Amino acid sequence: MITQKIFNDTKTAFKLKSSEDLNRALFLFSMINRPTLVKIGTYLTKISLKLHLPVEGLIKSTIFKQFSGGETMEACMKVIEKMYSKKLHSILDYSVEGKEEEAQFDAAMKKKISVIEFASEKKEIPYAVFKPTGIGRFEIWEKVSSKVTLTQEEEEEWARVRNRVDLICGAAFKNDISVLADGEESWMQDSADDLMEEMMIKYNKEKAIVFNTLQCYRWDRLHYLQELHLRANDAGFKIGAKIVRGAYMEKENERAHKMGYPTPICESKEATDVSFNGVLAYCLGQIDDIYLFIGTHNEMSNYLALQVMEDKLIAINDPRVWFSQLYGMSDHISLNLAKKGYNTAKLVPFGPVREVVPYLIRRAQENTSVRGQTGRELALLIEERKRRKGEPTKGNR
């Protein structure tokens, strides 16, 4: 029987953090715990960067250092190797967003492929990741999702997007590295779902190389997964499912209200938990057909996964089940799972400081909307600081 205690081990959780690291995390999560400060800080950061004020050094030593592995893949290896010494894997995410030009999309695709090739030579890095709207305009994904007739120019643009996705997935297949496609807003997600299913049909015959993301704050995701499962059995491919709660709740609800259609989002936090846990249990119940990547900072959902794995006699290191959290967050989950022998990885963002800031800001904003998450981080960090002060020796700091 799984006991709900392993995530309380702060000594294991923060073993890799120096006292300086611990204090920086305490400061940042104290700030993030105050939504008004996050709004003010976001505004000032955006204005400062737009006006080219000399703030990059401050950003680099605070939020960038906390939530990013570095500016290049090579620079990230120091933190990646450090985590791997504690059996914790990494996933490199080139977190540059907001591009709109074809040349930029081609460059992003090439960067993703270079990350895949880099990861194939590193035992510490089992997955790669890409964002669909990072390699094609949001509007073209949206238009294809809406099933309207495309112009000749749009048909050609969509063909280029499909080709970029295929090249990324093909590189993952060639290098035997699984690749995760991020989830996006619901009004473009249908086209992404359809395209990632095509990639699964092509590349997931023997095992899951291609993973699609299911944002479980959408109330329809279990039904979607069940229908996909039927198609997978008929077509003979494995499903790669990355499950998360979701990142665009306020935007989704606002758009639905404004445009007069039923919101695709669950009616409450509790309903989202039920949705996520239902998808989780379904996947683990069909482990011969569905490879599962569990992306959550929710302790109860992680405990549920451990319990279901135990009940269904799934080995703790079964390669079909992975756990993941974001770098700089929820170390009490990641490092304690890794210590117990579960397949666990941190998503490690990287890229030029100025270009990664929008991604980091979005993460900070998401944290302010997750009830209890930041407070839990703060409580554990404070507990660890007290524990260290009470130790007779400095130990491994």
- Topology of domain 6-390 in CATH is TIM Barrel (3.20.20)
Tell me the pTM. Answer: 0.93
pLDDT value at position 396? 46
Region of residue 183 (left: phi > 0; alpha: psi -120 to 50; beta: else): beta
Question: Residue type for 336, please?
Answer: N
Task: Give the C-alpha separation, 159 to 12, whole Å.
Answer: 48
pLDDT value at position 368? 53
C-alpha distances out from residue 141 to 129, 148, 158, 177, 193, Å:
18, 11, 8, 25, 11
Strand partners, 210: 179
pLDDT value at position 47? 80
Mean pLDDT by 10 residues, the chain (397 residues): 81 95 91 74 74 80 91 97 98 84 95 97 97 95 97 98 98 98 96 98 98 97 98 98 92 95 95 97 98 96 97 98 96 97 97 85 62 81 93 51
pLDDT value at position 365? 62
pLDDT value at position 46? 72
Tell me, letter by letter, the H, E, C secondary structure of 213-257: EEECCECCHHHHHHHHHHHHHHHCCCEEEEEECCCCHHHHHHHHH
Task: Give the C-alpha separation, 80 to 23, whole Å.
Answer: 21
